Amino acid sequence: MRHSLKTAVFLLSAWLTLSCSAGNVHTLEGRVTGIADGDTLYVLDASRKSHKIRLLGIDAPERGQAYGERSKQSLAKLAYRQQVSVDWQGRDTYGRILGRVRVAAADCRQGSCPKTLDANLEQVRLGLAWWNRKFADSQLPGDAHLYAAAERQARKAGAGLWADPDPVPPWRWRRQNPRQD
């Protein structure tokens, strides 16, 4: 009896969490028109409005940082000029949409392929971005677990920036290299 009550409470709280989170998720459809770096891109929607998108849950090396250009090139290969769906819940302090960007798989040969490839997760999987555990609570349901596992695998395989024995995370690099605008 006690076990089934705990299970029921767990299932109810999981359902409420997913229901509340899913209710606040918006989807933006559009075409990627530009890549700023390995975790930021621009999407033009059907009404021709441009949106700056910060890939939620990841932090890619900065321009001028080791692997910064490779990370940007990787995101361009995944998403530039592609139709995308952006699942988002909010904006950051700079007004950028914080979202998960979904694209069609690269091997899709038809014009209307489903957008099933999570570009954010792919950047982490390729070792060209860190999973940003600081913002795990703001990720969409289930994403934090997937991104953490992808980073562990990339580290283990020495993929991308993990080929470096001690890669500098972008948040530390930014503190050491303040912008001089």
Among all residues, which ones are annotated catalytic? 54, 62, 96
- Among residues 160, 159, 134, the alpha carbon closest in space to that of 148 is found at 134
The pLDDT value recorded for residue 180 is: 53
Helix (H, G, I), strand (E, B) or coil at 6: helix
- Between CA 61 and CA 63 the distance in angstroms is 7
The conformation of residue 61, written as its DSSP 8-state character, comes to P
Give, for all 181 residues of the chain, the pLDDT tens digit: 444 444 433 333 333 333 334 458 999 999 999 999 999 999 999 999 999 999 999 999 999 999 999 999 999 999 999 999 999 999 999 999 999 999 999 888 777 889 999 999 999 999 999 999 998 999 999 999 999 999 999 999 999 999 999 999 999 999 998 875 4
Domain range list for the chain: 24-162
What's the predicted TM-score (pTM) here?
A: 0.84
The pLDDT value recorded for residue 54 is: 98
Residue 48 Rama label (left phi>0; alpha psi -120 to 50; beta): left
The architecture of the domain spanning 24-162 is Beta Barrel (2.40)
